[in-house]
Structure 1
């Protein structure tokens, strides 16, 4: 007989996901600064999206492997925690080495070194991501899943806020330089990565040592899994394992297939935002001509004007503010997300959030205003174009969409997965995150150069249209555990 899984206190749920704050801190630093770093190291606009392909490719490879391995792991540290800790240590190494890519120029080209460190960081982040998702599914009972994934979304966005804004703070409060010559990395970005590495390791250690996973016997009892299905058989040959994995993909739950459509259009849009927001606002808001993003043009020019260098640095810092802003709004919305989902249903809340995000991307075109204004950000005053300030408005919608993307698909999916294969299916579900980013990476650069002639603001509009299509697709998703949650809420009442 299946025992009732005990409900967790708020702080137990908090501890389960606290390490994700640090992982997302590092991921946010990467999102806001990798395009900036790679551009400084010599990448052009068309190739930026190709370098960013490293991230989803690592996710595509790593997460299913880690998911399957964590399903089979039971040791003194637990089931998921060994992978979370190992991933964090590797990510810290990558975060320290990436901003130092120019140092290794005697051994390897800075661009290649940068790409290798991005690959290491992304592989490591993915080693952490999947076990954290599965840890919530393992530890949190069905009636608390909305809360569990909402808390995780909240912590993710707190980490993202701090990570996104950190280079700006180091420049405008601490006084570190935010500009760099071609082939170098700005000091403010370097120190941001060092601090991020420290935070990542510290928060992951908190989760590892403050969360006690269920024993194999407890897990089987709470999940209704027989011992025969939960204990792995003798390791099969590689060909057999690949065949079994292929069958899992083909026979994935219907809910996962339906969510995959939503995920495709959501993550296609997010990838565009992360890659092209910096050049988009540098061109559209700081009025820097697109030719200054062409390495061949820059190489042929006698010198890069100081005004262009300063504008790129200021725009790069402001991207951190914008990304921090959408993360703040996402964190705030995450507080209410579980209650809204309980009251109105996950699908309506999820679809509404994506639609608002799509409209917000499209509205980027409306906010060009070159008038320079002084802005008090509490920690410092800055002078920026008024259009840059107005871009905080669409960040509200982007933040709401981001909060929903981080929580709702996983809450909807968790009840559709067999308990003894949660890890591997959560890893397979990452295909729905990685594949759209790969498609975006292969096509967005071509669209930008061939269709929009490197006018980066228009590729942001493409992201908005994609997100709107995702919102429509939400209504075609089935939720298998909706009745369980409804009954549990009725019993508590």
Structure 2
């Protein structure tokens, strides 16, 4: 079926739910390590506490992609039922995460939160490819990235913003500050509202051959066999993109899990106080602990705000590409390569920043790579796979996102950064090196249609 080209606002409505998804991811990425440290986690334990996130993605996204390919409802469509289910579960998880009284409960809620976000996120990638002709794929994914950038910037600044308007950023030992709790509550509302907006403003195309679609649904369920067969039959371009994704997402997982301890220590000089180092029964020592903890919480707010800059610069990156791709073709390969290399230098520069304000430059460069990661690989992939298997292939493609994160969580981050020394800031150097490798791996991509849409 020849799909008509859509206007900007139709693509905007179709992608608007990603605002809520990114609120969830930004709050998770910017503040879960802070919550873990507040509840007593040692910094070297943090990557392992994060393992729930990639593990759930590894399991959930291929399953949801496969199921959504096999779903059709005359009113709710193919992908939208999964948006709604994921939004309900994610919003509930966001409400409960910062109220966790103990570390194991926070880790458990992270598991639930990430699984729920993945239920909503995977069908959004497939929806862009479902509803747009091949010539608009880059445009569609770039608009999606623009919305993601907006969500990242706003959500990353929420704890700082609510503390500025009077919500307390102080809390007793082992208690998450109210500013973080309020920010997560706002995130829950935005998540649900933005998903509902997309559901009610966007239509989906029915299967091209409804009779064949119904026959396939009635066949014996070959769920696992189908997924295994699709993994075995991955196009070569998808495998090459997988290499790029591996190093890209190793870098960003390292940032999400280790930026807060690394930057509060190295740049702000206010590391998280370790309870065992204080005699909390001594009034002077208790006062010192509370002073140090308040300084750590304030620095963590600043780290979160600086991290929000990468959302802002990814938004600017996406905005420029939106204007350009609405009229002209782009070379996805070289744009992605350049953006990843800039992000790599941004991470490495963190080691050398003379003052906290210079972190704005680091995260600006990282934002260029983030904006590209969220659009260019999917635009290249969608032009190299069977449209009838768009959902399941998009889900399988997620393996190249979550496997590096699992490796990082199981010791990859700690092992690699300690090759450079014990200082936690070395984790950011490892993230930079990983992004540089990812950038140069773009030279592997040779499929002309993946690099730039070719008129047929």
* Contact 2:384-2:449 at 8 Å conserved across structures: yes
Q: Is the 8 A contact 2:278 2:289 kept in 1?
A: no
* 1:28-427 aligned within 5 A: 28-75=26-73, 76-102=75-101, 110-172=102-164, 174-217=165-208, 220=209, 228=212, 231-236=215-220, 240-288=222-270, 292=272, 294=274, 296-297=276-277, 302-303=285-286, 304-338=288-322, 342=328, 344-368=330-354, 387-427=355-395
Query: Any unmatched runs of 5+ in structure 2?
Result: none
Size of the aligned set, in residue pairs, is 449
Counterparts of 1:365 and 1:67 in 2: how far apart (Å)?
Answer: 40
Compute the displacement of 1:307 (Å). 3.8
Change (3 A) 1:250 1:486: closer
Shift of 1:356: 0.3
What's the offset of the Cα at 1:232? 2.1
Question: How far is 1:207 from its partner?
Answer: 0.2
* Structure 1 residues 127 and 451, CA gap change in structure 2 (3 angstroms): same
Q: 1:24 to 1:484 in 2, by over 3 A?
A: closer
For residues 201 and 187 of structure 2, the distance between their equivalents in structure 1, rounded to whole angstroms, comes to: 21
Q: Secondary structure at the match of 2:455?
A: helix
Distance across 2 between alignment mates of 1:484 and 1:325 = 29
CA displacement at 1:447 relative to structure 2: 2.5
Instruction: Provide the C-alpha distance between the structure 2 equivalents of 1:479 and 1:231, rounded to a whole number of angstroms.
Output: 34
- Give the C-alpha shift of residue 454 in structure 1: 4.5
Residue 15 in 1 paired to residue 1 in 2? no
1:175-206 deviation line (CA, Å, top 9, x unaligned): 11113333211000000011110011011000
Distance across 1 between alignment mates of 2:7 and 2:53: 35
Following superposition, the deviation at residue 455 of structure 1 comes to 1.6
CA contact (8 A) 2:264 2:303 kept: no
Alpha-carbon distance in structure 2 between the residues aligned to 1:416 and 1:241: 23
Q: Is the 8 A contact 1:40 1:181 kept in 2?
A: no
**Residues 457, 403 of structure 1: alpha-carbon distance in 2 compared, 3 angstrom cutoff:** same
Mapped to 2, the partners of 1:181 and 1:139 lie a distance apart of 50
Conserved 8 A contact 1:89-1:201 = yes
**Is the contact made by 1:230 and 1:420 (CA closer than 8 Å) also made in structure 2?**
no
Inter-partner Cα distance in structure 1 for 2:181 and 2:393? 37
The answer as to whether partners of 2:384 and 2:450 remain within 8 angstroms in 1 is: no
SS at match of 1:216: coil
SS in 1 for 2:250: helix
TM-score scaled by structure 2? 0.93
SS at match of 2:97: helix
C-alpha distance in 2 between matches for 1:483 and 1:436: 24
> What's the CA shift string for 1:429-457, capped at 9, x where partnerless?
00011011111111245327854665211
Change (3 A) 1:42 1:27: same
Root-mean-square deviation (Å):
2.2
Q: 1:461: which partner in 2?
A: 429
- Structure 1 Cα separation of the partners of residues 279 and 154 of structure 2: 35
Q: Deviations over 1:50-69 (max 9, x none)?
A: 11111111100000000000
Please state how far the C-alpha of 1:343 moved relative to its aligned partner.
Answer: 5.4
**Alpha carbons of 1:21 and 1:299: their partners in 2 closer, same or farther (altered >3 Å)?**
farther
Change (3 A) 1:293 1:451: farther
CA shift digits 1:3-31 (9 cap, x unpaired): 42111111110111001011101211111
Following the alignment from structure 1 to structure 2, what is the Cα–Cα distance between the partners of residues 156 and 133? 12
